[in-house]
Amino acid sequence: MVYESISFYTETILPGVNPGICGNSTSSGRNVSKTAVDVFLSSLSIATPKINGLYAAATTSVVGNDTSIAYAIAQCAETLTTDECKSCLEVAYASISICASNDVIDGRAIESGCFMRYSTIPFFRSNQITDIAPFLRDGGSSNKIAIIGGVVGVVGGLIVLLIVVLWWYCRSKRTMPGGSLYGATELQGSKDYNYNDLKKATNDFGDENKLGEGGFGDVYKATFDDEKVVAVKKLKVRHAGAKIGFENEIQLISQIRHRNLLGLLGWCIDGSNLLLVLEYMPNGSLDRFLWGERKGTLSWKIRYDIILGIARGLAHLHKEVHVRIVHRDIKSSNILLDDALQPKIADFGFARFQPEDQSHVITKFVGTLGYTAPEYVRYGILSDKVDTFSFGIVVLEIISGQMCTSQNLDGPSTEFLLEHAWKLYENQKVVMLVDETMDINPDEEKHVKKIIEIALLCTQSPASERPAMSEVVLMLSSEQSSVERHLTRPNLPYLNRRIHIGSS
Q: What is the DSSP letter of 211?
A: E
| CA 102/CA 121 separation, integer angstroms | 17
Asked whether the beta carbons of 9 and 88 are under 8 A apart, the reply is no
CB of 269 to Mg ion, least distance (A): 20
Contact characters 404-423, Mg ion, x per CB under 5 A: --------------------
| CA 498/CA 476 separation, integer angstroms | 33
Choosing from 278, 308, 395, 456, the residue that interacts with ligand ATP (CB under 6 A) is: 278
Contact characters 233-272, ligand ATP, x per CB under 6 A: -----------------------------x----------
**Is 87 or 334 the residue whose CB approaches Mg ion more closely?**
334
Residues 191-220 that bind ligand ATP (CB under 6 A): 211-216, 219
Catalytic residue among 106, 305, 329, 338: 329
Burial class of residue 39 (count of CB atoms within 10 Å of its CB; 0-12, 13-18, 19+): middle
What are the start-end ranges of the E strands in 297-449? 335-337, 343-345
Contact characters 292-331, Mg ion, x per CB under 5 A: ----------------------------------------
Strand 114-119 to strand 106-110: parallel, antiparallel, or no bridges (unpaired)?
A: antiparallel
What DSSP string runs through 94-124? HHHHHHHHTTBSEEEEE-SSEEEEEESS--S
Q: Does 334 help bind Mg ion (rule: CB under 5 A)?
A: yes
Choosing from 214, 217, 263, 462, the residue that interacts with Mg ion (CB under 5 A) is: 214
Contacts of range 416-424, beta carbons closer than 8 Å, 24 or more positions apart: 416/370, 416/495, 416/496, 417/393, 418/393, 418/459, 418/492, 418/495, 419/492, 419/495, 419/496, 421/396, 421/452, 421/455, 421/456, 422/456, 422/489, 422/490, 422/492
Q: Which does 366 bind (CB under 5 to 8 A by kind): ligand ATP, Mg ion, none?
A: none
Per the annotation, the verdict on 443 as an active-site residue is: no
Strand 191-192 to strand 264-270: parallel, antiparallel, or no bridges (unpaired)?
A: parallel
**Is 77 or 253 the residue whose CB approaches Mg ion more closely?**
253
Q: What is residue 323's three-state secondary structure?
A: coil
Q: Report whether 234 belongs to an annotated binding site.
A: yes
**Is 51 or 231 the residue whose CB approaches ligand ATP more closely?**
231
Choosing from 249, 347, 387, 471, the residue that interacts with Mg ion (CB under 5 A) is: 347
Chain residue at closest Cβ approach to ligand ATP: 214
**Is 106 or 347 the residue whose CB approaches Mg ion more closely?**
347
Asked whether the beta carbons of 286 and 337 are under 8 A apart, the reply is yes
**Is 76 or 336 the residue whose CB approaches Mg ion more closely?**
336
Binding region for Mg ion (CB under 5 A): 214, 334, 347
Which spans of this chain sit near ligand ATP (rule: CB under 6 A)?
211-216, 219, 231, 262, 278-281, 284-285, 329, 333-334, 336, 346-347
Annotated binding-site members? 234
Binding residues for ATP: 234
